[in-house]
Amino acid sequence: MSLETKFNLREETVEKLQKLIRYNFDSYEGFQKSAEEIENPHLASLFQDLAHERSAMATELQEYVEWNHEEAEEDGSALGAVHRAWIGIRGKLSDGDAYTVLSEAERGEDAIQEAYEDVLKDIPGSALNDVIQQQYARIKAAHDRIRDLRNHYRGED
């Protein structure tokens, strides 16, 4: 077996990248939906910024997949679509309440954070470990920020 490089990834690594691409697209679309549903303009702006960050992260991973002569994922998952629909329903029922929308955003962040943790465990020592670690750090920081904001808005009308 030859040494894995960023331009010669193992099949398992490419599969894991495809998974992360789907999660990033789900996250992008979830943040877009959250920005639409929330009444608070500062939080809407934050969600837009995080959506753009996730789009850039997906694009970065797509490049590695394509450099390895594979067709990269271009969409999120069915489960992500269900979660976005739920964000819309909860957002409308709560009239864009910050706590409610932030709670759903945190649920989405829990999912993508777990996906990155799983990939890091599944392909230790991969040629893309540094890239995945850097993206994971950004996801963890966003998750913690959303959690802290959710806690801040808990109980406020």
130-145 confidence digits (pLDDT tens) = 999 999 999 999 999 9
Q: Which amino acid is located at 22 in the chain?
A: R
Domains and CATH numbers, the chain: 11-67+74-153 (1.20.1260.10)
Confidence of residue 156 (pLDDT cuts 50, 70, 90): low
Of 149, 154, 141, 114, the C-alpha closest to 44 is 149
Identify the weakest region by mean pLDDT among 10-19, 33-42, 59-68: 33-42
Q: In 3-state terms, what secondary structure has residue 118? A: helix
**C-alpha distances in Å from residue 79, one per residue of 85, 115, 129:** 10, 13, 26
Region 98-117: what's the mean pLDDT? 93
Beta-strand ranges (E) seen in 47-97 are none
